[in-house]
Structures are given as C-alpha cells and as structure tokens.
Amino acid sequence: MIDVLIIGGGIGGLALAQGLRRHGIAVTVYERDRHRDERVDRYRLAINPAGSRSLRACLPDRHWQAFTDTAGRPGGGFGFLGTDLRTLVLVEDAVMYPADPDPAGRAYPVDRQTLRGVLLDGLDDAVHYDKAFERYELTADGRPTAHFTDGTSASGDVLVGADGINSRVRAQYLPAATQRDAGAVGVGLKLPLNDDTRAWLPARLAEGMNLVLTGAPHFLFTSVFERQEPTGDDYLLCAFVARNDLFASRPERLDGQRLKAYVAELITDWHPALRQMVDECPPHEVSAFPFQASDRPAPWAPSRVTVLGDAVHGMPPAGGNGANTALRDAALLTRQLSLADGGHLPLLDAIGDYETEMREYGFHAVELAMRTLRQGLTSNPVTVGLTRGWFSLCGIAAPLRRMTFGASWAEISAPRRWERSA
C-alpha cells in the first residue's frame, strides 16, 4: 500500500487526505499550525461546480452531507454596480451556473471555518500539528523523507507539497517555479448581517455577490453569507482591491483601524451606504492580503514528490478560483494515486499524468484570475466607458448577458474529461 505524506493541512491538503483515506491509502498530514484551532479562517468561500464535484469525489457520504447542510443559502445573482449603487447589470444564478439536478454539480457559498471543520472531521489521527516542514531528502530509490524544523522527520512513498503560496516543498523541488507580486492588495472586511445592519443596507448589497466598478485602479467585491438555519452569525464579506501603489507598503502589517482609514480615504465620493458599510465593519475582522501569482513553470519529469493547490498555481482571488482549483487537484491526485495503489498504473506515470493535467487547468485559472484582476483595476477611460456601456446593454438584454457572463463562469468549472468519466 502506498504511504503518502502531505505537507500542509489547508483546503487542498485536507481534501486529498480525505480522498486517499476513502480509497484505503495510508496518509499523514503535517501542518505547521501549532494546534487545530490556532487559525481563525474569517471569510466565506465561493465553491463553484468544479469545487463541489471534487469535494464529492474526495469526501465520504457523511462529510458531503455535512458540507451541503452547512453551506450558505445560494442565490442572489451577481450584480455589477456603480459607486452610486446604480445596477449596471444583474447576472442571474442560472446564467452563472446552469441548474444541475445533481447537488455535486452546483455552486455553494461556504464559511471557511465551517468547511475546515468538515475537512478535518475524522482525520484526528492523521493530522500532526506543530510540524513545520523544512526540507526533504530522497533515498537512492527515490523515496522521500520530510524533515521538520523541530528536528524530527518522516518517510513515505510519496511527498505532496500542499503548503500554500510560499511553499517550501515547491521551492526545493521546483526552484524555477517562482511567484510574483500580482500588483494589487485586497482588504477583507466583514459586516455582521443582523436587524440593525439590514435596516440601512441597500437591498442589493444584502443579496448575492456584487462588484462595485469605479473607473479607478480599485474596486469592491461584496458577498452575502447566510446560513440555512439562523444562528445569528450571518455576514457580508467585502473585499476592497486596490493597485499596490494606492496602499502603504506591507499593508498586511497594518491593523484593522488603519486599513479601514486607507479604504475610507479612497471612497470619499462613493454612495454614503457603501461608506457606512466600510465604516461599520469591526476592525478586528479587517485584514490585508497582498496578491501573488505563480509563474507557469516548464514541465518537469515526475518523481515521488509532487505539489498541489496554491503551492504550484497560486493566483489572486479575483474570480474565486484558488480553492476550487486546489480541490480539483486533490480529486485528481486521489484518483491517480488510487490507480497506482491498485496496480493499474506505475506510480510515476500516475503522478506525471496528474501533473500534466493539473498544469493545464491550474495555470489557465491563474491567467484568468490575472485577467479578471487587470480588468477590475483598469482606469483607462475608453475601456471603462466601453465596459460600462456593454454591461448596461447586458442589463437590458438576457441573450447578451448569457453570452458575456455565462461562458466565463461555466468554462472554468465545466467537467474535464476525467471528471465526466468519474
């Protein structure tokens, strides 16, 4: 039986661990967090149909049920608004993701912390905390040993780097695979959705997802997270995204109050409700994320070391595809390793096929995220004018809406060949 070591217990690493366990493959996850509750994952994630299918493939039935039970209420569409809150176009859910009778083919808003709980469920014996990976070594027959900063080590048949955008596994394994500053910073804010805030929040902002287009090198994304059963912790996630030079250097070091002040200064001429929204977000729920993007590396020869998720194809969250792509990696790698484990494929062929396919959809997602980010940040008056004019036309004509928005959402999450045959 194959014995798999996973470095990093984030979304991709944990989904892979669940998937491998489901196929009876031995797996251990090494996570640098000191304990399970060290991290508070504050925001919500948009899981698209590719992410849902991947979760369905990796998770045992009980976990999948927990995922759908704890997901937020879907719906509300995607609005493109002006800073005066005028709706240029409202893209209906059915345009973004055509209705699918199979729950695994749908999109779900999820709370990150809740998803993490689902992914960790049943893995207590497999996840080792306070294990910061330092480096690996390969034996003469190519088997990996991972070394940790506490001086301990672990050996297995396959080592998977699922250790996020600043991956140490990738740095050692693929030193030519670099990542770059994507040129923008995101400030995440969270407004509680309760009777008080709903009383003044304009109706459109209290629904679905929205993008406030500004014509300046910044924009605002909003997304509602409402639980299916009322628990009193519904919220509106806001992400203010700006070109780097509009912010202080190292914004991730600023506290919530200072970050809010930066944002407030850039939106003084926006609709008062948008300003109030930023103003009323509690400072302890505000943080900054400098965006990074991985460069596409030249193909490499497969070995018993591989990588998944942000560790290899990190991307800015414009378009919300990073976690979905990490989940897709987890599902595909599960499939490939179980084929090898069952003797249907040589191990290195299984890993090589995974990497070939992963590079294709993974770096396509990076390019799409960069394109979306650039479009959002453009301040070229001609482009801005044309975009607004086109969006307004789309707002009136449903066929234009389907043509313009349907294709881009559907394309990234459409099943790949191996997913259709699964």
Ligand X SMILES: Cc1cc2nc3c(=O)[nH]c(=O)nc-3n(C[C@H](O)[C@H](O)[C@H](O)COP(=O)(O)OP(=O)(O)OC[C@H]3O[C@@H](n4cnc5c(N)ncnc54)[C@H](O)[C@@H]3O)c2cc1C
Positions that interact with ligand X (CB under 6 A):
7-13, 30-33, 43, 45-46, 132-133, 162-164, 168, 186, 188, 239, 289, 309-311, 317, 320-324, 326
- The residue of the chain with the least Cβ separation from ligand X equals 10
| Shortest Å distance, C-beta 10 to ligand X | 2
| Separation of CA 339 from chain center | 27
Least distance to ligand X, CB of residue 326, Å? 4
Min dist CB 355 to ligand X, Å, is 15
Pick the closer one to ligand X by CB: 82 or 192: 192
Closest listed residue to residue 9, CA positions, set 314, 401, 311, 370: 311
Residue whose pair of structure tokens reads 């060949």 in the numeric block? 417
Q: How far apart are CA 181 and CA 175, in angstroms?
A: 17
Q: Are 387 and 213 in contact (CB under 8 A)?
A: yes
CB of 200 to ligand X, least distance (A): 25
Q: Closer CB to ligand X, residue 157 or residue 310?
A: 310
Smallest distance from ligand X to CB 190, Å: 11
The 8-class DSSP code of residue 414 comes to S
Please state the closest distance from residue 185 (CB atom) to ligand X, in A. 11
Q: How far apart are the first and last CA of the chain?
A: 22
Both tokens assigned to 366:
């990076």
198, 218, 223, 233, 282 from 279: Cα distances, Å: 15, 18, 17, 19, 8
Distance of alpha carbon 218 from alpha carbon 246, whole angstroms? 9
CB of 172 to ligand X, least distance (A): 11
Tell me how many degrees the CA angle 289-359-412 measures, rounded to the nearest 5: 70
Torsion of CA 402, 406, 407, 413, to 10 degrees: -160
Asked if 231 and 225 count as a contact pair (C-beta separation under 8 A), the reply is no
Q: What angle, rounded to 10 degrees, do the helices at 322-341 and 49-58 form?
A: 30
